[in-house]
Chains A and B, each alone.
Chain A
Amino acid sequence: MTTPATTTVPPRSPATEGSLLSKLEIDVRMLGMLGALAVIWIGFDILSGGLFLTPRNLWNLSVQTASIAVMSTGMVLIIVTRNIDLSVGAILGLVGMIVGVVQVQWLPGWLGFEHWLTAPLAVLLAVIIGGAIGLFQGWLIAYLGIPSFIVTLGGLLVWRGAAWWVTAGQTIAPMDTRFKALGGGVEGALGATATWIIACIASGLIVVALGFARRQRIRFGFPVRPVWADGVIAVLACGAVLGAAAIVNSYPLPVGIARSWAEANGIAWPEGGLFIPHGVALPVLIAVVVGLVMTFLAKRLRFGRYVFAIGGNPEAAELSGINTRWTLMKVFGLMGLLCGISACISTARLNAATNAAGTLDELYVIASAVIGGTSLAGGIGTIAGAMLGALVMQSLQSGMVLLGVDTPLQNIVVGAVLVLAVWVDGLYRRRIK
């Protein structure tokens, strides 16, 4: 999420005129979303008497967002190709169930309990099953020509039903300890040192990437933005990364857990207690990596170019010799694969596999993508926007939980915000044209 902002709103003539924003070549839309997020965060912080903007709440918020954010990156590509996937929540439920059964009932008999291979095998299986389901639905859509709305609406019922069949409705718990790390919690907190190292590497990469892009443009004699603008972007991006690291590193482990950790490591428990920071949570790191990989797929690879071309003009894509059907099938396969990852995250977080897991997730995932600027008409959308959309939605929800708002009212607010966001986005798009 911290890659340099891609320039979807380029300056009219960068050399001569232009506001500050056009000089920076920052996506104004993305800036608007960050503004909305800031308003939501500050608003909840004031209403909750300073409870929202605490390291603890922000850390929890980041963990709660991870599962939806991962799936929203795939939903962007699906919606960009003018399709929809209503089955993601059900796929998550089925894969979560299978992953639970595999690590609780099958693998222990074969590897023994708490074997180090259990978690990697479970994750691998989740990704394979999710991907296979996605490819199958993609095949029905792309090669048999059944509308994606229908295929995935059917999928919603089929996979949810299949999730129930796995154990005849029984809940499976508890999960393997290493697997549980995927859900965050104490096992999945990476600690202060690792967090700082990751943040520093990320900052370094941002600077290198900016420098590389600049050198490339100079080499080909294209217009470049002023040096100070690149500098400001580098400082802002690195500042965001390091700031986030500082926040998650100022949220300490609960006293009891810190004490047992100290005992386990042979450290004397001091008088005032130990301040052991959580650091970034594993699911959050996974979500960020997924976001970067998906952005890379969408922006830097042929596959992504074809996905957007299909969304922009399916006939033109076909006429330029693109294998549109195979591309579409891969998009759905990718979505299924991401559902597999999210299934691991949410099963691990719950520390149980239930056949209700992921219920209504399809709506949250679609809403995230749409709030994040993905156009249902196809052809337009960004991965970063969708993940930001997921964060906005989760912020609203956990903010309302913090304020003690009733669940029905929470749904009313989230639903209204979705409609409002799309309306504002439409206004904005019409203005810039």
Chain B
Amino acid sequence: MATNDTAPLVEMRNISIAFGGIKAVDGVSVDLRPGEVVGLLGHNGAGKSTLIKILSGAYRPDAGEIYVNGAHADIASPRDAKRYGIETIYQTLALADNIDAAGNIFLGREVLTSYGTLDDATMESETRKVMARLNPHFRRFKEPVKALSGGQRQSVAIARAIYFNARVLIMDEPTAALGPAETQQVADLVLQLKKEGIGIFLISHDIHDVFGLADRVSVMKNGKLVGSANVTDVTQDEVLGMIILGKCPPGATPGPGAS
């Protein structure tokens, strides 16, 4: 399964979490190498988002371990995850609607002046720089993000994830709310970040999205891992079979959830 010899940037081993007796994630193992895009596929409710929320520190797993660069990582909160260079673009974007773009990008990591006050000027200036790269037409720096369009809000969420030199980027349904042109923009960005050596978990239920961008796919069903495969070793139909039937094709490494 390994495509090269570099140590995994992130490895999640035998992760399990249950909510009220229902095992949302059950013994799942996935890994990610530098400069690699791993598509995480599955139906709604398959446990993709839950798995990824464990990596981003929003949930604590009941069992299992996380390794970052081969070393055991204790991720108890979103702050911990960020310390390991793990940034997340949530499906809901997780923006504070009443605050402007700069406030959101730096939320929880504000730049302070030497007096300990918010350095809004520096934050706005940095925001202008990062937004110029992501969305050159963006002008509404002073407005609460509530006033922005879906695509603009998306770029704010992306800017927040990439500004702090992420090494691992988790994108949860990044194109769900976007039009074709904006979807293409996100795809270009993924390729660019990949070139910079960032590892990306791409979560989607749209298999076409994932096949164009990912190096590998991991498929989940009912909280369990059906299997993982290089995209070159399997066909889209085979992956569809994994998602719907939990059937692992010969080109893939089966997981505990394979039938």
Residues 64-100 of chain B: 1 if any A CB is under 8 Å from the residue's CB, otherwise 0? 0000000000000111001000001010111111110
A49 an interface residue at 8 Å Cβ cutoff?
no
A10 an interface residue at 8 Å Cβ cutoff?
yes
Inter-chain CB contacts under 8 Å: number: 82
A20 an interface residue at 8 Å Cβ cutoff?
no
Chain A contact patch, size range: 20 to 34
B7 an interface residue at 8 Å Cβ cutoff?
no
Chain B contact patch, size range: 20 to 34
**Do the beta carbons of B142 and A7 come within 8 Å of each other?**
yes
**Do the beta carbons of A319 and B58 come within 8 Å of each other?**
yes
**Do the beta carbons of A305 and B118 come within 8 Å of each other?**
yes
Q: Give the chain B neighbours of A308 by CB distance below 8 A.
A: 96, 98-99
Q: Which of B79, B110, B122 contacts A305 (CB 8 A)?
A: B110
B8 an interface residue at 8 Å Cβ cutoff?
no
Query: Which residue of chain B has the shortest Cβ distance to A25 in the bound complex?
Result: B142
A417: min CB distance to chain B, Å: 26
A317 an interface residue at 8 Å Cβ cutoff?
yes
Q: Give the chain A neighbours of B110 by CB distance below 8 A.
A: 302, 305
B149: min CB distance to chain A, Å: 14
**Do the beta carbons of B124 and A309 come within 8 Å of each other?**
no
A55 an interface residue at 8 Å Cβ cutoff?
no
A263 an interface residue at 8 Å Cβ cutoff?
no
Q: Which of B79, B98, B108 contacts A379 (CB 8 A)?
A: B98
Query: Which residue of chain B has the shortest Cβ distance to A433 in the bound complex?
Result: B147
A260 an interface residue at 8 Å Cβ cutoff?
no
CA distance A311 to B107 in the complex (A): 13
Q: Decide yes or no: A379 and B112 within 8 Å by CB, A301-B117, A309-B103, A321-B77 being known contacts.
A: no
CA distance A22 to B69 in the complex (A): 52
**Do the beta carbons of A302 and B78 come within 8 Å of each other?**
no
User: B interface, by DSSP: helix, strand, loop or mixed?
Assistant: loop
Q: Give the chain A neighbours of B116 by CB distance below 8 A.
A: 301
A19 an interface residue at 8 Å Cβ cutoff?
no
**Do the beta carbons of A321 and B78 come within 8 Å of each other?**
yes
Query: Which residue of chain B has the shortest Cβ distance to A302 in the bound complex?
Result: B110
Query: Which residue of chain A has the shortest Cβ distance to B147 in the bound complex?
Result: A433
Q: Give the chain A neighbours of B99 by CB distance below 8 A.
A: 305, 308-309, 312
B244 an interface residue at 8 Å Cβ cutoff?
no
Residues 310-333 of chain A: 1 if any B CB is under 8 Å from the residue's CB, otherwise 0? 011101111111100000000000
Q: Decide yes or no: A10 and B143 within 8 Å by CB, A316-B96, A318-B78, A321-B79 being known contacts.
A: yes
CA distance A215 to B124 in the complex (A): 15
Query: Which residue of chain B has the shortest Cβ distance to A375 in the bound complex?
Result: B98
**Do the beta carbons of B124 and A315 come within 8 Å of each other?**
no
Q: Which of B98, B121, B142 contacts A220 (CB 8 A)?
A: B121
Q: Which of B77, B78, B94 contacts A313 (CB 8 A)?
A: B94
Q: Decide yes or no: A319 and B88 within 8 Å by CB, A300-B117, A309-B96 being known contacts.
A: yes
**Do the beta carbons of B125 and A313 come within 8 Å of each other?**
no
B56 an interface residue at 8 Å Cβ cutoff?
yes
**Do the beta carbons of B88 and A313 come within 8 Å of each other?**
no
A216 an interface residue at 8 Å Cβ cutoff?
yes
**Do the beta carbons of A320 and B77 come within 8 Å of each other?**
no
A276: min CB distance to chain B, Å: 41
Residues 106-150 of chain A: 1 if any B CB is under 8 Å from the residue's CB, otherwise 0? 000000000000000000000000000000000000000000000
Q: Give the chain B neighbours of A10 by CB distance below 8 A.
A: 142-143
B103: min CB distance to chain A, Å: 6
Q: Decide yes or no: A216 and B121 within 8 Å by CB, A317-B107, A320-B78, A380-B98 being known contacts.
A: yes
Q: Give the chain A neighbours of B107 by CB distance below 8 A.
A: 305, 309, 316-317, 320, 322
Residues 176-220 of chain A: 1 if any B CB is under 8 Å from the residue's CB, otherwise 0? 000000000000000000000000000000000000000011011
List residues 34-51 of chain A with CB under 8 A from any CB of chain B: none
Q: Give the chain A neighbours of B122 by CB distance below 8 A.
A: 220
A222 an interface residue at 8 Å Cβ cutoff?
yes
> Given A312-B144, A316-B94, 20 other A-B contacts at CB below 8 A?
A219-B121, A220-B125, A222-B121, A222-B124, A299-B118, A302-B110, A305-B103, A308-B96, A309-B103, A309-B107, A313-B96, A315-B92, A316-B93, A318-B78, A319-B58, A321-B78, A321-B79, A321-B109, A379-B97, A380-B98
Measured CB to CB, the residues of A under 8 A from B are 7, 10, 216-217, 219-222, 299-302, 305, 308-309, 311-313, 315-322, 379-380, 433
- Which are the 3 A-B pairs with shortest beta-carbon distances? A312-B96, A321-B79, A312-B98
Measured CB to CB, the residues of B under 8 A from A are 56-58, 77-79, 82, 88, 90, 92-99, 103, 107-110, 112, 116-118, 121-122, 124-125, 142-144, 147
- Residue pairs across A and B with Cβ atoms less than 8 A apart, 27 shown, are A220-B121, A220-B122, A220-B124, A220-B125, A222-B121, A299-B118, A301-B117, A302-B112, A302-B118, A305-B118, A308-B96, A308-B98, A309-B103, A312-B97, A312-B98, A313-B96, A313-B97, A316-B94, A316-B107, A317-B96, A318-B78, A320-B109, A321-B77, A321-B82, A322-B108, A379-B96, A379-B98
